[in-house]
Amino acid sequence: MTAGRNSEAPLVACVHATPRAIDPTEMLLKTVGPVAVHHLIDEQLLAAGDDAAGPSIFRRALQEATSLRPAVVLTTCSMYTRFLDALRQHTKPPLLGIDEPMIDHAARTGGRLGFVGSIETAVQLTAEEVLRRARAINVDADVAETLLVPRDSCDTDAGRRTLAAQIQELRSRVDHVVVVQLSLSPAVDLLTNEECRSVFTAVPFAATRIRSILGAAAT
């Protein structure tokens, strides 16, 4: 599946495990600036997240993305972020997991963290990565609570309102909330600016990092 804006603009090749990630990714990239976008969807990634076959499927998807000669490859499935450091040395264009900048921010912030996600494995892996990075920089962080919600939580207005209320409730019990799946980020748009300061989603942090990558490539 392909979607593009301005063929003269730098290309961002996006690798998704579900079509639900496309709209939030498009909204994110609109804040970055003029870019062309190519969406690659392989739903086998979602099914194989806990399987030994997962990494090879992921590598195949990355090879397809890099064959497009993009300015950056953006991956949106949080179950595969753990593989990116090892794969970067074999990937010529910059490779970014959409949740990596958010994970870095959560690790630097620390405190009692609540994690919200729709896939248990993804929530567990993201929480572990936040704690690992926090320990590396001597920041105290703790997984205070996790919340698993349906994958289709943001498919309807009612679902988004329900999830927003759940995030608000969780926020009252922890220092900060980490929304693991990109596909759940639309619910955060329903929160107030004050509430959003303690609710972390991939969108703003990834947008900043992508602008930095594209800016460096242009110089």
* 113 phi/psi in degrees, rounded to 5: -110, 140
Architecture in CATH for domain 101-201: 3-Layer(aba) Sandwich (3.40)
Q: What is the pLDDT of residues 65-74, one digit of tens each?
A: 999 999 999 9
**Whether the predicted pLDDT of 5 surpasses 60:** no
CATH 3.40.50.12500 placement within the chain: 101-201
Output the pTM of the full model: 0.90
Q: Cα separation of 145 and 185, whole Å? A: 18
At the top level of CATH, which class does the domain 11-99+204-218 belong to?
Answer: alpha beta
pLDDT score recorded for residue 217: 66
pLDDT score recorded for residue 55: 87
Query: Judging by beta carbons within 10 Å of its beta carbon (0-12, 13-18, 19+), is residue 78 exposed, middle or buried?
Result: buried
Closest CA to 125 of 157, 168, 81: 81
Q: What is the pLDDT of residues 115-161, one digit of tens each?
A: 999 999 999 999 999 999 999 999 999 999 999 999 999 999 999 99
